[in-house]
Amino acid sequence: MLPRTIDWSDGRIVAVDQTALPELRMRRIGTVDELVEAIRRLVIRGAPALGVAGAYGVALAARQTADPERLAAAADRIACARPTAVNLRRGVQRALAVSGDGPAAVLAAARALAEEDVAACREIGRRGAELLGELCGAGPLRLHTHCNAGALACVEWGTALGVVRTLHADGRVRYVVVDETRPLLQGARITALELAAEGIEHRLVVDGAGPSIIARGLVDAVVVGADRIARNGDVANKIGTFPLAMAAARAGVPFVVAAPESTLDAATPDGSAIQIEDRAAGEVLDVGDGRGAPAGTPAWNPAFDVTPAELVTAVVTEARTLRRGADLQV
């Protein structure tokens, strides 16, 4: 059984170090500088977990200063640590909004956000499982997921993997195809770990295999998470999501996005307005044991892509099921 991904204890953030997985190591984070570094390095990652980290980060800052300007500056540094997942800024803003009431109020707001995330994931799982029943039948289903939208990307349970867990509890999962998710292997290191821990049948594949596995009729539905969903329904998620959506559309396979309401961003009109994080070339050059590209090879490392709304069968949140066409307007 995995511990909570992110929590608060003795005046510090306590988080699973996601860079070490599948080895389980906890990190204690006591300052804003440490938190910003941890977020940038993906020690803490996944949109909902980033939201909670943002709120706890303001709680750390509020213990260190009561000066509103310094607090706002610290909050802004946390919010800017990664640009794509809207949850990070939202979590920061939510905690900052009560900072006038003192550090205890900020911490209480962060704790409340963490509990809301747990409840939201359970409900996303329930609604997503119901939707897949409607779209694909009772199963057992062959599902495909990308990156890690599981318990380790949230506080507990997960969004896309919350749907998988809920289906599994009813004996409705035949297997889950898991993309490795280069360059940082969130699928191989984290999703495969979560599925194994639950005894859920799964197959790891290289990212390039995903679309052809769908085309060969080996998948009933694709279920992924999201980092930001624009007003028109365009979905930013881990790089490699878009090719799966194209393959799913071509094969007539449902492509379902499972995400909390806090990932919907009505202030962003469409996917072209979403800032895509560019990460260091070294992450692409190094592969596994280090035998990768020749040193100095120029590389691009966009961390996310945007799947156009027209390829999204439905977005499932804890409150709604937004279907393509009529109501996929967030």
Residues taking part in catalysis: 227
> How many helices (H) and strands (E) would you count in the chain?
11, 14
Identify any residues that bridge with 235 across adjacent strands, giving them in sequence order.
Answer: 229, 307
- Options 13, 36, 58, 147; binder of ligand MRU; rule CB under 6 A: 147
Residue 10 tokens read as 């003795």
Instruction: Tell me the CB-side half-sphere exposure of residue 130, using CA atoms within 13 A.
Output: 12
Instruction: Compute the distance between CA of residue 231 and CA of residue 212 in angstroms, rounded to an integer.
Output: 30
Q: Which is nearer to ligand MRU, 89 or 238 (CB)?
A: 238
For ligand MRU, which is the closer residue by CB, 72 or 200?
A: 200
Does position 90 interact with ligand MRU (CB under 6 A)? The reply is no
Nearer to ligand MRU by Cβ, of 116 and 227: the residue is: 227
Q: How many CA atoms lie within 13 A of 261 on its CB side?
A: 9
Q: Which of 16, 39, 141, 226 binds ligand MRU (CB under 6 A)?
A: 226
Residue 225 CB, nearest distance to ligand MRU (Å)?
A: 3
Q: How deeply is 204 buried, as exposed, middle or buried, from its count of CB atoms within 10 A (0-12, 13-18, 19+)?
A: middle
Q: Which of 88, 153, 177, 328 binds ligand MRU (CB under 6 A)?
A: 153
Q: What is the DSSP letter of 203?
A: E
Q: Say if CB 38 and CB 44 are below 8 A apart.
A: yes
What is the rounded distance in angstroms from the CA atom of residue 137 to the CA atom of residue 13? Answer: 42
Stretch that binds ligand MRU, among 66-74, 149-157, 265-273, 314-322 (CB under 6 A): 149-157
CA distance 81 to 137: 42
Say if residue 140 is preceded by a cis peptide, omega within 30 of 0.
yes
> Given candidates 12, 39, 48, 96, which one binds ligand MRU under the rule CB under 6 A?
48
One of 149, 164, 188, 244 touching ligand MRU (CB under 6 A): 149
Minimum CB distance to ligand MRU smaller for 225 or for 233: 225
Answer yes or no whether residue 274 interacts with ligand MRU by CB under 6 A.
no
44 binds ligand MRU (CB under 6 A): no
Longest distance between any two alpha carbons in the chain, whole Å: 60
Q: Does 271 bind ligand MRU (CB under 6 A)?
A: no
Q: Residue 154 interacts with ligand MRU (CB under 6 A)?
A: yes
- In the complex with ligand MRU, the residue whose CB is nearer, 42 or 71, is 42
> In this structure, are residues 261 and 318 in contact, taking their beta carbons and an 8 Å threshold?
yes
Q: Which span (40-48, 94-102, 196-204, 245-253) binds ligand MRU, by CB under 6 A?
A: 40-48
Q: Any idea which residue has 């202030």 for tokens?
A: 267
315 is an interface residue for ligand MRU by CB under 6 A: no
Name the residues that contact ligand MRU, by CB under 6 A: 42, 45-48, 85, 147, 149, 153-154, 159, 186, 225-227, 237-238, 303
